[in-house]
Each structure stands twice: as C-alpha cells, then as structure tokens.
Amino acid sequence: MRIAITREVSPAIGRCELTHLERQPIDLELARAQHRAYQACLAALGCQVQTLPATPDLPDSVFVEDVAIVLDELAILTRPGAESRRPEVAAVAEALRPYRTLYAIEAPGTVDGGDVLRVGRRLFVGLSTRSNAAAIDQMRALLAPYGYTVQGVPVAGCLHLKSAVTQVAGDTLLIHRAWVDPGAFDGLALIDVDPSEPYAANALRVGQALVYPAAFPRTRGRLEARGLTVLPVDVSELAKAEGAVTCCSLIFETAE
C-alpha cells in the first residue's frame, strides 16, 4: 500500500518563510483548490492520501516533506533550518508513528527534507541555508547500518537541493546545473531543464509517473521525449511560498 501524508494549506501561508523569492500576495482559496487537485492526482496514482488539518499559526506547514525523511526501514524527523518551522514536526511524527520507527536530528544539526534526494541506497543531502554538515554526520551514523551512503552536496542560488535536482526514473535525474554541480551524481543519467525554465527541476515520482508543475511545458516536453509519463498540476500559488510538487507530500510504501 502506498501512503501519501499531506497537510492542508494554513490560512497564514502569506506569512511563509522566503529566502530567494520576493513576497507576493497568495490567493488562499486558489492555493487550497490547487492543493486539492494535487491530492486528487496522488489518489489517482494509487496513493492512500492521509491529510492533516491546517494549522493557523504554522504558515509553511503544508510543506510536509521538510519535516521528515521516510525510508523503507525507518523515518527521521528533521530539525528544520528555519526555527519557525520546528513546531511542524510533532503532528507529522504522530502521523508516521504507526508506520515507521522514528529517529530525530538533534542540535546543532539542521536539515529540511527538501534537501534530501534518495536514489536507491544513496542519499544526497543539500548543504544549503537550511541544512548543515552536523545533520549529515548524524544521518550518516544512523543509516550506515542499513546500507545507505549519505553525501553532502553544496547548493547555491535556490532554497533546497530538490529545487535543483530530482529523480525522474530509476537512474535518471532532472537537473538545473546552475544551482548544483552535476559531478556529484556520478553514474546517473541527467536531463537538463529547459534554459528558459530555471525552476523546472522539481518533479515528484510516484510509481512510474511524474507529478509535475504545469508552469514548465518546455521541460515537460524533454521528459516526455524520454518516454516518461508526466501529469501536470497547477501549483502556482504554492510556488509563491517557495513550494513545489515534492514539498507537499510524504510518500512511502507500507504493508497493508
């Protein structure tokens, strides 16, 4: 069974944390409608969507990916780089508890789940404004007994590693090279975003399909030319909060 944990859009999303974007007005009702369509897309792909309620005092809480890293054997609760986001962890921890043994990143470590890209037994972790080497060291020690490697990857010009690179097939990544060194991903095939679409590297792989922002048709064409199935969704309002399609869910397999 494939579970997708999501969280409703906070009425305070207009006060979200921003690092690389100028603040713009966010249409709350449109953001909620786009989020419902995103959830429906996940359900159509076979996910059992579990939705946590909106939290008025946690503007960024719709972005559940950032507060946990869910692997086959366990889940790691993060310590988000933005202090305002740390209270988001508790509710997601309770949602994950029935499915995984939980571990937690401790101070001085900070990491956002958006900085963690898993490819098989390899974890690439962005060294960004939100995630640091202390967290990577903790993850490496925790995951080594399970056969995972954990590699830090410098990120520049964007919020998270998965703003710059995501997995679109078993051995294939979608990448914007200006924000991350492609040399970090040895042995993997790379698809470049269209130069006119710098924010187009974030795709959400669900089974054999990709949930993908409708705003990037040229890069979508590149993906489809490789034989990939792409399901476009409009996330324009969430993008104003530096959100993307991977950010809004935690997807994992579990025994029925």
* 108 cis-preceded (ω within 30 degrees of 0): yes
- Per DSSP (E only), the strands in the chain are 2-7, 47-52, 68-70, 75-77, 102-104, 116-119, 122-127, 149-154, 165-169, 172-175, 189-192, 204-206, 209-213, 229-233, 250-253
Using CA atoms in the order 223, 193, 62, 35, what is the torsion angle rounded to 10 degrees?
A: -50
Please state, in angstroms and rounded to a whole number, the distance separating the CA atoms of residues 78 and 125: 12
Q: For residue 202, what are its two tokens?
A: 């974030």
- The residues that are catalytic are 160, 247
Within the chain, how many helices (H) and strands (E) appear? 6, 15
61, 7 Cβ separation under 8 angstroms: yes
Residue type for position 62: V
- Supply the Cα-derived Rg of the chain in whole angstroms: 17
Phi, psi of 220 (to 5 degrees): -55, -40
